[in-house]
């Protein structure tokens, strides 16, 4: 399967008009998902927000629905609508906060809402009643993130009110960890205890408890007591471990980032390279230009830090990274126009990881992946046939 993010290009032979592109291996994504599901032994909600962590939301969702993924999670209403318009039929939970005027669109597109207050729940209930439909909702409990969600110490009134709804089906209840990927899990366990106290409400009133979920990637790896009825991997499903956590599930990166040499020149000593003239060589050297830059998500903060792979060897990025291009010092080695350049991934015995790129960018792996611009074409390989 070959697909790109530019729908105006129909001919697969011309798909990669830019030499800079991402390759996403759908078979690796499927294997990662199955490894997580086998490890936890319960349903897995795949998180697709932020363009599936840079991997391409719609192609990833289509592949993962085809292998039986029971739930998807996104951040915003428009992401859910895009998935529905692409033919995705599995349940989709929108994890972010909602505005009242959005509710009818959630219901019309059969998207599951997050409700974290009695006021929001009433708005959902009234809108569903007026439309003659039923809304589907998961209740969000804030156990220590202070983002969205009703506070754990105020949650019981919301839970009690949810039992009175006539047009709203409460399919789930969930919370989110702030520190489940930390070495010190004290705060995570405090959040878990708070959530369990909230859940005790259902036994106390003799009500059926909806589907419970809390475990993100860090908790999947470190807190099995937080797996409940379903887990919600994001980063882990794409084959990237949160830094410092035990790598107890065999997942592998599904995304690689490639480009090509498009220009070669010999630069004299003390002739500065790129904007600001911040780097120069002390001796004659060979510089190649690569058509990728911060406009693609290859961060300017990596200037003077990053390395790329050419012919299986590491070379430093020199001078300031430009919006659309950057320069690499190959010393007195050889490279030709058209030579492949690996920005992320493997070449021979060498590899550049997401964690390395994030370190060079002084950021986290989540931001690094989601910052890769959509103008970088995505190529999808190894589709699972059904």
Q: What is the dihedral of CA 146, 172, 56, 98, to 10 degrees?
A: -50
| Residue 54 CB neighbours (<10 A) | 24
Distance CA 56, CA 73 (A): 14
- Across the chain, mean pLDDT equals 94
| Residue 201 CB neighbours (<10 A) | 17
Query: What are the tens digits of pLDDT across the range 312-354?
Result: 999 999 999 999 999 999 999 999 999 999 999 999 999 999 9
Phi, psi (rounded to 5 degrees) for 328:
-125, 135
Query: What are the tens digits of pLDDT across the range 144-175?
Result: 999 999 999 999 999 999 999 999 999 999 99
Selected catalytic residue, list 49, 140, 152, 241? 49
Check whether 183 has a pLDDT greater than 90.
yes
Distance CA 210, CA 273 (A): 60
Selected catalytic residue, list 153, 263, 265, 275? 275
Quick one: tokens of 145?
A: 């993130």
Does 2.40.37.10 match the CATH number of domain 255-381?
yes
Phi, psi (rounded to 5 degrees) for 220:
-60, -40
pLDDT for residue 4 = 38
- Write the CB contacts of 99 (distance below 8 Å, at least 6 apart in sequence): none
Q: pTM of the prediction? A: 0.92
Examine the residue annotation and report whether 336 is marked as an active-site residue of this protein: no
Distance CA 62, CA 228 (A): 27
Confidence band for 18, pLDDT divided at 50, 70 and 90: confident
Residue 4: how many CA atoms within 13 Å on its side-chain side?
19
pLDDT for residue 7 = 40
pLDDT for residue 384 = 79
Ramachandran quadrant class, 348 (left: phi over 0; alpha: psi -120 to 50; beta: rest)? left
Query: What are the tens digits of pLDDT across the range 52-81?
Result: 999 999 999 999 999 999 999 999 999 999
* Fold exhibited by the domain 42-238: TIM Barrel (3.20.20)
Report percent pLDDT > 90 for the chain. Answer: 92
Check whether 12 has a pLDDT greater than 60.
no
Please give the angle made by the CA atoms of 285, 286 and 289, to the nearest 5 degrees.
135
Secondary structure in 3-state letters for the chain: CCCCCCCCCCCHHHCCCCCCEEEEEHHHHHHHHHHHHHHHCCCEEEECHHHHHCCCHHHHHHHHHHCCCCEEEECCHHHHHHHHHCCCCCCEEECCCCCHHHHHHHHHCCCEEEECCHHHHHHHHHHHHHHCCCEEEEEEEECCCCCCCEEHHHHHHHHHHHCCCCCEEEEEEECCCCCCCCCCCHHHHHHHHHHHHHHHHHHHHCCCCCEEEEECHHHHHHCHHHCCCEECCCHHHHCCCCCCCCCCCCCCCCEEEEEECCEEEEECCCCCECHHHCECCCCCEEEEEECCCHHHCCCHHHCCCCEEEECCEEEEEECCCCCCCEEEEEECCCCCCCCEEEEEEEECCEEECHHHHHHHHCCCHHHHHHCCCCCCCEEEECCCCC
From-to residues of CATH 3.20.20.10 in the chain: 42-238
Examine the residue annotation and report whether 313 is marked as an active-site residue of this protein: no
- Given a contact cutoff of 8 angstroms between Cβ atoms, the answer to whether 367 and 13 are in contact is no
Check whether 3 has a pLDDT greater than 70.
no
Query: What are the tens digits of pLDDT across the range 29-39?
Result: 999 999 999 99
């Amino acid at each position: 399967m070959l697909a790109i993010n530019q729908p105006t290009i129909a001919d697969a032979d011309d798909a990669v008009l830019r030499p800079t592109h991402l390759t996403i291996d759908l078979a690796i994504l499927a294997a990662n998902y199955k490894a997580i599901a086998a490890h936890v032994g319960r349903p897995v909600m795949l998180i697709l927000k932020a363009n599936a962590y840079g991997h391409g939301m719609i192609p990833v969702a289509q592949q993962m629905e085809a292998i039986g993924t029971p739930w998807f999670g996104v951040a915003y209403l428009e992401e859910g609508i895009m998935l529905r318009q692409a033919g995705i039929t599995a349940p989709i939970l929108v994890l972010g906060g909602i505005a009242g005027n959005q509710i009818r669109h959630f219901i019309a597109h059969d998207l599951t809402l997050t409700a974290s207050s009695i006021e929001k729940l009433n708005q959902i209930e009234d809108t569903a009643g007026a439309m003659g439909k039923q809304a589907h909702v998961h209740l969000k409990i804030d156990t220590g993130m202070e983002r969205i969600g009703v506070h754990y110490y105020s949650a019981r009134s919301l839970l009690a009110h949810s039992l009175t709804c006539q047009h709203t089906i409460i399919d789930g209840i969930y919370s989110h960890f702030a520190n489940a990927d930390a070495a010190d899990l004290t705060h995570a366990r405090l959040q878990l205890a708070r959530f369990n106290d909230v859940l005790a409400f259902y036994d106390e009133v003799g009500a059926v408890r909806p589907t419970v979920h809390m475990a993100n990637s860090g908790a999947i790896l470190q807190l099995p007591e937080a797996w409940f009825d379903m887990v919600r991997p994001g980063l882990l499903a794409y084959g990237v471990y949160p830094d410092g956590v035990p790598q107890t599930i065999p997942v592998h990166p599904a995304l690689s980032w490639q480009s090509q040499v498009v220009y070669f020149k010999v630069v004299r000593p003390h002739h500065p390279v790129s904007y600001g003239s911040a780097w120069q060589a002390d001796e004659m050297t060979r510089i190649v230009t690569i058509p990728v830059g911060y406009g693609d998500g290859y961060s300017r903060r990596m200037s003077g830090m990053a390395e790329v792979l050419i012919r299986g060897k590491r070379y430093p990025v020199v001078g300031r990274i430009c919006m659309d291009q950057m320069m690499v010092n190959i010393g007195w080695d050889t490279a030709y126009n058209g030579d492949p350049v690996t920005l992320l991934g493997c070449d021979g015995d060498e590899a550049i990881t997401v964690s390395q790129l994030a370190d060079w960018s002084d950021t986290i792996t989540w931001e690094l992946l989601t910052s890769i611009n959509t103008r970088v074409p995505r190529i999808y390989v190894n589709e699972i046939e059904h």
